[in-house]
């Protein structure tokens, strides 16, 4: 073992603060996701992955390559393809060929997709405000900074 722990005859602490943090992050994230999933279904008859695709595309008026979209959402290419197929069948997104690269396409919101997202986004934002309402401005700021440090570290590796 190459860790920073004491030798084998001094057992490591049974639960470090970092492990506690990770377990709570995981649990809180799952809880919030499950809450949002239920609210999206009840209020907008949609799913979290569908909402996430519309949200990602809404930030990119020129559309995104499928591989970019998959990376952004951290889901597999296969899953994104299925989602985009269904959103396209519903008229919310469309694909366009990329000049000079005949194997790749960009996907972008249609007008209907933009309108759908813009109708859903305000309620989504209200829910987040409500879910996180008991965290102070300072707590939120510390957490954002810490998570960005974590994400930056992992992206630069």
Residues forming the site for its own copies (CB under 8 A): 1-5, 12, 16-22, 24-35, 74, 122-123, 125-126, 128-132, 134-135, 137, 139-151, 153-154
Q: How far is CA 106 from CA 67, 70, 91, 96, in A?
A: 9, 12, 15, 5
Tell me the longest C-alpha to C-alpha distance in the chain: 65
Nearer to its own copies among residue 5 and residue 101 (C-beta): 5
Nearer to its own copies among residue 1 and residue 89 (C-beta): 1
Nearer to its own copies among residue 26 and residue 97 (C-beta): 26
The answer to whether the beta carbons of residues 124 and 36 sit under 8 Å apart is yes
Smallest separation (angstroms) from its own copies to the CB of 10: 13
Rounded Cα distance between 19 and 41, Å, is: 33
Q: What strand order describes the sheet that includes 101-109?
A: 64-65, 101-109, 93-98
Nearer to its own copies among residue 98 and residue 147 (C-beta): 147
Residue 56 has a CB neighbour count (10 Å cut-off) of 19
Smallest separation (angstroms) from its own copies to the CB of 144: 5
Smallest separation (angstroms) from its own copies to the CB of 28: 5
């Amino acid at each position: 073992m190459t860790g920073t722990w004491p030798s084998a005859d001094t057992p490591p602490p049974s639960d470090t603060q970092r492990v506690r943090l990770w377990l709570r992050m995981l649990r809180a994230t799952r809880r919030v996701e499950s809450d949002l999933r239920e609210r999206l279904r009840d209020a907008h008859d949609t799913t979290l992955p569908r909402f996430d695709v519309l949200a990602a595309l809404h930030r990119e008026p020129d559309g995104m390559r499928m591989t970019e979209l998959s990376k952004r959402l951290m889901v597999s290419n296969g899953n994104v393809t299925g989602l985009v197929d269904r959103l396209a069948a519903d008229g919310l997104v469309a694909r366009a060929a990329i000049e000079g690269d005949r194997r790749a396409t960009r996907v972008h919101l249609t007008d209907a997709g933009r309108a759908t997202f813009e109708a859903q986004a305000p309620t989504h934002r209200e829910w987040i405000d409500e879910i996180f309402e008991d965290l102070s401005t300072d707590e939120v700021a510390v957490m954002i900074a810490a998570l960005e440090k974590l994400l930056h570290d992992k992206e630069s590796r």
